[in-house]
């Protein structure tokens, strides 16, 4: 994984040095209603500039993930034309919240070419609104409802041990083993792209991962069971 990542990064840098780049998209010249909210053209123009500077080489002129650098990446760069992003706090496949876009940009995605950025709040807001212009879904739909991260009921050491012991049984109940096997994928390597905090793991389990077979467990598992899975996974990684 590391070799592939650094090899891809070297290729990306080589393309930049040699001047290979994708053309810029035609600027947007009007205010747009996206996700049911009127976005001023000034905001979209600012987002366009930021996108060109930091995102276009991977995600492409049209936000399809086919920029000159994105084509070589494994996993590939995100395709914003689909409307959803993989790691969000809404039901998998729904339009993400602004905070979902910004969390990926602030912290990056582990094991991918998506590194964290140093953009400030104002710039993050502008580029977030601009990303919405790539998918027609934002013209007719609103962002999905954010799934609340409820309190962890396993607070004492004894309760945590009990939750960890129940983890494999709950995994079987949720159907996790059908894809991940008896040990959840990447538990031993710590390769969780959206982070290893308790909240990040809860979010992935509850909401699912957009565009994949990872379906959200909110409404299928109780809050207690979701937190038991989180405790089990974190225990396996000594987190």
Last residue of a domain, one of 72, 106, 140: 140
Q: Is residue 148 part of a domain?
A: no
Q: Note whether 55 and 88 are same-domain residues.
A: yes
Q: Note whether 26 and 126 are same-domain residues.
A: yes
Helix (H) or strand (E) holding 39: strand 37-39
Q: Note whether 102 and 178 are same-domain residues.
A: no
Q: Is residue 151 part of a domain?
A: no
pLDDT of residue 14: 39
Residues 10-36: what's their mean pLDDT?
71
Domain that holds residue 44: 2-140
| Total domains present in the chain | 2
Residue range 156-196, pLDDT digits in tens = 999 999 999 999 999 988 888 777 776 555 554 556 888 88
pLDDT of residue 22: 65
Residue range 83-100, pLDDT digits in tens = 999 999 999 999 999 999
DSSP symbols for 170-221: HHHHHTTHHHH-SS-TTTTTT--TT-SSHHHHHHHHHHB-TTSS-B--BTTB
Q: Note whether 123 and 168 are same-domain residues.
A: no
Q: Is residue 145 part of a domain?
A: no
Q: Note whether 178 and 114 are same-domain residues.
A: no
At residue 2 the predicted structure's pLDDT band, cuts being 50, 70 and 90, is very low
Cβ neighbours of 108 (radius 10 Å): 17
Domain of residue 199, CATH code: 1.10.760.10
Q: Note whether 132 and 96 are same-domain residues.
A: yes
DSSP summary character for residue 70? G
At residue 152 the predicted structure's pLDDT band, cuts being 50, 70 and 90, is very high
User: Would the pLDDT of 25 be above 70?
Assistant: yes
Q: Note whether 164 and 60 are within 8 A (CB).
A: no
Q: Is residue 34 part of a domain?
A: yes
Distance of CA 17 to the CA centre of its chain: 29
Q: Note whether 113 and 221 are same-domain residues.
A: no
Distances (CA, A) of 115 to 58, 109, 112: 12, 6, 7
Last residue of a domain, one of 114, 140, 166: 140
- pTM over cut 0.85: no
Q: Note whether 18 and 99 are same-domain residues.
A: yes
Q: How far apart are CA 111 and CA 2, in angstroms?
A: 8
Q: Is residue 91 part of a domain?
A: yes
Q: Note whether 94 and 199 are same-domain residues.
A: no
Q: Is residue 94 part of a domain?
A: yes
Q: Note whether 216 and 115 are same-domain residues.
A: no
Q: Note whether 136 and 162 are same-domain residues.
A: no
Q: Note whether 21 and 82 are same-domain residues.
A: yes
Q: Note whether 92 and 209 are within 8 A (CB).
A: yes
Last residue of a domain, one of 140, 172, 192: 140
């Amino acid at each position: 994984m590391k070799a592939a990542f650094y090899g891809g990064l070297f290729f990306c840098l080589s393309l930049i040095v040699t001047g290979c780049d994708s053309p810029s998209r035609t600027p947007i010249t009007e205010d747009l209603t996206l996700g049911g909210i009127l976005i001023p053209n000034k905001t979209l123009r600012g987002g366009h500039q930021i996108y060109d500077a930091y995102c276009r080489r991977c995600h492409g002129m049209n936000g399809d993930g086919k920029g000159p650098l994105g084509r070589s990446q494994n996993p590939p760069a995100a395709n914003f034309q689909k409307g959803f992003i993989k790691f969000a706090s809404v039901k998998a496949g729904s339009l993400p919240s602004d905070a979902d876009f910004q969390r990926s940009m602030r912290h990056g995605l582990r094991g991918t070419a998506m590194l964290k950025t140093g953009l400030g709040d104002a710039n993050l807001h502008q580029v977030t609104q601009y990303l919405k212009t790539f998918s027609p879904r934002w013209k007719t739909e609103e962002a999905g409802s954010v799934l609340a991260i409820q309190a962890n009921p396993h607070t004492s050491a004894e309760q945590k041990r009990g939750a960890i012991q129940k983890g494999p049984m709950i995994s079987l109940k949720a159907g996790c083993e059908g894809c991940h096997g008896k040990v959840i994928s990447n538990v031993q390597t710590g390769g969780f792209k959206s982070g290893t905090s308790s909240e990040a793991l809860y979010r992935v389990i509850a909401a699912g991962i957009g565009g994949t077979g990872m379906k959200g467990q909110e409404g299928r598992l109780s809050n207690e069971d979701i937190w038991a899975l989180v405790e089990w996974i974190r225990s396996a990684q000594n987190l």
